[in-house]
Every structure is written in structure tokens, then in C-alpha cells.
């Protein structure tokens, strides 16, 4: 299945992007054994919403009311502590997302992805507003980036190069049909490509990729 790939477009403001990122990383070795590559692309979800005409769930009363139930179920399913959005949620994720693009381009994959995951954890479990430069600097210190590295990362986030890079990533997702995050663009072994949305469609993705997997089954009472 050489040549198969999952391009994951994710934003640190999206809890479901967190679940999807965790899940794909946990299953990376199994996917790679079948020749499936995973690549994470930081995007600006606000730009995707505007560009697609979509609205965040918390702005729609019915979705907002349902989300507390769905979020609790998702946390249980993916094996993480319950998420509690802080008072300052949602954040403007532009700066941290630009920082993640810089890390992706300049650091090993594992360090980039580990740091990326810590953005969600800092916001949803520690109540840290990662949209503030001083909070981002403290987070990076916790990952053993030097003061000089941190200055370079934060400076890059306000540079024309990385402003454009985030715009380009977001536009690429929109051109692939994105209306939310996580958004996936998947290429199978036959070279065909299709979009997938959300953190609860992996069984469909595995079918599309032709992977062997155990689907959800109901066991009869004995």
C-alpha cells in the first residue's frame, strides 16, 4: 500500500482535532506497517468557517447544548480526562498555529507533534490562554526550548512568511472541501483521493484505505 497518505488539517482551538491527533499518533506504527503516511497540517479554523460559511458549534444553541454530552463521550472513548473549556474559550488560534508551522519546518516530527498536543492540554486541562505570547513562551520553556529558540519561534509567528504559511494551509484545506476541523484528505493505494471529516469516521477511512481492522461490534449476552 505504498503511497497511501492521510493529510490531517487540525487547529488547537478544536477539541475534536485533539482527539483525532491523539488517535492517529497512537496508531501510526500500525498504519505505517500498511504503508500509510500521516502528516499534520496546522490551519486556522476561523478562516475555514468563514471560507466555507460554517458556524462554530458553540454559536448554535442546539449544537451547544448537545456538545457537552458529545464531548464527554468522546473523552471517554479516546481515553482522556474530561475537557472543560476555560472561560476565555474560544481563543484566536492564529499565533499558536503559526508557531506550530515553524516547529514543523524546523524541528523533528516527534518534537513538533508533541509540542502541538501540549497546546490542547494546556488550554483544556490547565486553563492556560495559549493565544498570549507570554503563555506560549512558558509552554515552550516546558518543552526545553532555549530562550533563543523561543524568541525565534514567536518572532516567526508575526513574520510575513508564517502569516502566509498559515493562510496557505487554511486555503489548501478549503480547496479540499473543508468546513471544519479535523479535516482529512486521504489518498489510497490506487491513487484515489477523498475527504473525511471529524474524529469519528476512522472506520470509513480504514475501509477506503483497504486496511484490516476490528469495527465496533455488539456482543450477545450469554
Task: Say if domain 4-14+32-198 classifies as CATH 3.40.30.10.
Answer: yes
Look at the alpha carbons of 147, 159, 41, 10 in this order and tell me if their dihedral is positive or negative.
Answer: positive
In angstroms, the Cα distances linking 140 to 57, 89, 92, 144 are 30, 21, 18, 7
Burial of 31: CB neighbours in 10 Å, binned 0-12, 13-18, 19+: buried
Q: Are strands 183-187 and 36-42 parallel, antiparallel or unpaired?
A: unpaired
C-alpha cell at position 187: 489518498
So what's the pLDDT on residue 2? 55
In angstroms, the Cα distances linking 170 to 9, 36, 44, 183 are 8, 23, 6, 11
Q: Angle of helix 133-142 relative to helix 109-126, nearest 10 degrees?
A: 120
Range name among 81-85, 111-115, 205-209 with the lowest pLDDT average = 81-85
Q: Where are the domains of the chain?
A: 4-14+32-198
Q: What is the pLDDT of residues 40-57, one digit of tens each?
A: 999 999 999 999 999 888
Q: What is the pLDDT of residues 118-151, one digit of tens each?
A: 999 999 999 999 999 999 999 999 999 999 999 9
Q: How many C-beta neighbours within 10 Å does residue 76 have? A: 11
Q: What is the pLDDT of residues 158-169, one digit of tens each?
A: 999 999 999 999
Q: How much of the chain exceeds pLDDT 70, in percent?
A: 99
CB half-sphere exposure, 178, CA atoms < 13 A = 31
- Residue 63's pLDDT band, with cuts at 50, 70 and 90, is confident
Residue 197 DSSP SS3? strand
Q: Grid coordinates 508533541 are at which residue?
A: 114
Alpha-carbon distance of 52 to 180, in angstroms, equals: 8
Residues 6+ apart with CB under 8 A from 110: none
Look at the alpha carbons of 113, 115, 120, 121 in this order and tell me if their dihedral is positive or negative.
Answer: positive
Amino acid at each position: 500500500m505504498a503511497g497511501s497518505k492521510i493529510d490531517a488539517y487540525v487547529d488547537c482551538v478544536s477539541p475534536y482535532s485533539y482527539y483525532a491527533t491523539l488517535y492517529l499518533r497512537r496508531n501510526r506504527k500500525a498504519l505505517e506497517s500498511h504503508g500509510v503516511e500521516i502528516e499534520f497540517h496546522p490551519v486556522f479554523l476561523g478562516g475555514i468557517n468563514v471560507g466555507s460559511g460554517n458556524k462554530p458549534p458553540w454559536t448554535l444553541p442546539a449544537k451547544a447544548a448537545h456538545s457537552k454530552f458529545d464531548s464527554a463521550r468522546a473523552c471517554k472513548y479516546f481515553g482522556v480526562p474530561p475537557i472543560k473549556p476555560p472561560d476565555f474559550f474560544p481563543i484566536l488560534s492564529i499565533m499558536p498555529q503559526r508557531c506550530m508551522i515553524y516547529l514543523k519546518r524546523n524541528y523533528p516530527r516527534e518534537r513538533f507533534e508533541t509540542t502541538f498536543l501540549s497546546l490542547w492540554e494546556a488550554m483544556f486541562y490547565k486553563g492556560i490562554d495559549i493565544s498570549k505570547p507570554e503563555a506560549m513562551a512558558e509552554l515552550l520553556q516546558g518543552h526545553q526550548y532555549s530562550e533563543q529558540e523561543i524568541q525565534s519561534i514567536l518572532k516567526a509567528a508575526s513574520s510575513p512568511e508564517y502569516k502566509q504559511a498559515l493562510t496557505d494551509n487554511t486555503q489548501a484545506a478549503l480547496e479540499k472541501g473543508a468546513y471544519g476541523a479535523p479535516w482529512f484528505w486521504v489518498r489510497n493505494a490506487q491513487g484515489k483521493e477523498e475527504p473525511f471529516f471529524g474524529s469519528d469516521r476512522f472506520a470509513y477511512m480504514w475501509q477506503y484505505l483497504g486496511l484490516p481492522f476490528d469495527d465496533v461490534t455488539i456482543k450477545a449476552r450469554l
